[in-house]
Amino acid sequence: MSRIGKQVISIPEKTEVKFSGNSVVVKGPLGEISRHVEPIIQVSIVGNEVKLLPKRETLESKALWGTYAAHIKNMVSGVNKPFEKKLILEGIGYKSEVRGDKIVFALGFSHPVEVSIPTGLKVTAEKNNITVSGIDKELVGEFTAKLRALKKPEPYKGKGMRYADEVIRRKQGKKAA
């Protein structure tokens, strides 16, 4: 049995949740998100609560039960308060700036690195702090991980791009003989 799937998801004020066919649509003050739900999971909306139950007890339905419950919970919280991830760019000469719908990096390569910002996300770059925010938790996390992968932090000086709450384990380096 899924502990997360058993929990009832409460719907706050100014938020609508609709289930039709095989998709869940959540509308809120910040926007609208929809997600496909497999037919082996039954979604019921009663008043201000969303409940999920598997139609049959199989391994697949048990696995998807908690997963879809977590997705719907993230959708409900995302349309009310946007998800936010912060990156810190460390290193001499490393820069970032937002130009229109692209973010441009100077990461020590022979060329500037341009990454297009997906629709639905808001990216700000102030000095060496990059903030990615949006209503879709999955999209925010995926885009932030894609940016971090451009220049991962190295263990000797800590140069590179890291999450704001990430701790880099440092190595000692060479010793003089």
Q: Does residue 58 contact residue 40 with C-beta atoms inside 8 Å?
A: yes
Amino acid type, 149:
A
Domains observed in the chain? 3-78 (3.90.930.12), 83-163 (3.90.930.12)
Indicate the average pLDDT of the chain.
Answer: 93
Query: What digits encode the pLDDT tens for the residues 70-80?
Result: 999 999 999 99
Q: pLDDT tens per residue, the chain (177 residues)?
A: 678 888 999 999 999 999 998 999 999 999 999 999 999 999 999 989 999 999 999 999 988 999 999 999 999 999 999 999 999 999 999 999 999 999 999 999 999 999 999 999 999 999 899 999 999 999 999 999 999 999 999 999 989 999 999 999 999 888 876
Cα angle 83, 6, 31; round to 5: 30
- Given this model, what pLDDT does residue 19 score? 92
Q: Does residue 72 contact residue 5 with C-beta atoms inside 8 Å?
A: no
Helix (H, G, I), strand (E, B) or coil at 70: helix
- Given this model, what pLDDT does residue 140 score? 97
Helix (H, G, I), strand (E, B) or coil at 33: strand
- Given this model, what pLDDT does residue 120 score? 92
pTM: 0.90
